[in-house]
Chains A and B, each alone.
Chain A
Amino acid sequence: QKEVEQNSGPLSVPEGAIASLNCTYSDRVSQSFFWYRQYSGKSPELIMSIYSNGDKEDGRFTAQLNKASQYVSLLIRDSQPSDSATYLCAVRYGGTSYGKLTFGQGTILTVHP
């Protein structure tokens, strides 16, 4: 059983719309949650980190965490074609040796003009 689940997509939204990306995780002691963006052929880059229940906003990005329901989401407002990429959800579980991350399989987002 996978520990971090994402809808692989592809998710297609028009330019200017809100893109909503979701991630669920297994019932373990969870600690930290991260969203990464990965362009084709490149390494992941950190978009947001979130540790507490609720919303965290940074520019056009909002991360939402609900530990009771075991999901974390990422909203991208005013989506741009340059946002087209694979979005990876990552979870750092409490008690994990050396703080390693577990990644979901990623959601492919396409923003069309």
Chain B
Amino acid sequence: GAVVSQHPSWVICKSGTSVKIECRSLDFQATTMFWYRQFPKQSLMLMATSNEGSKATYEQGVEKDKFLINHASLTLSTLTVTSAHPEDSSFYICSARDSRSDNYGYTFGSGTRLTVV
């Protein structure tokens, strides 16, 4: 089945700094990846759709200048949280769809727990 690798699994950063999160599809090519954010006891909220070779599509209310997304290859998408603040502390999860088979559905990375202090 499809495997999505996400790093780091957790990160603590100081307020005002930037953090980069990587998402890789290991055994398939993903022209599209999705970035979610999940706060405690809440469901997943889609932040943006990352498209290889083009600009990301952001959901309403998500600041594209704060959450920079780069999808430079068919297997790698990155999310950079710029000038992070404590309210950005959350669980960030990427996802990709393996188009080889509908049975694979959308596979999620293991997630990154970001804590901004």
Contact = CB atoms under 8 A, between A and B. Distances in A.
Chain A contact patch, size range: 20 to 34
A101 B43 contact: no
A105 B43 contact: yes
B104 to A, nearest CB: 8
Interface in A31-84: 32, 34, 36, 41-46, 49, 51
A49 B102 CA distance: 8
Among A43, A49, A101, A104, max chain B CB count under 10 A is at: A43
Interface stretch (B11-19, B44-52, B61-69, B77-85): B44-52
B58 to A, nearest CB: 12
Interface of B: 6, 32, 34, 42-44, 46, 49, 51, 57, 93, 95, 97, 102-111, 113
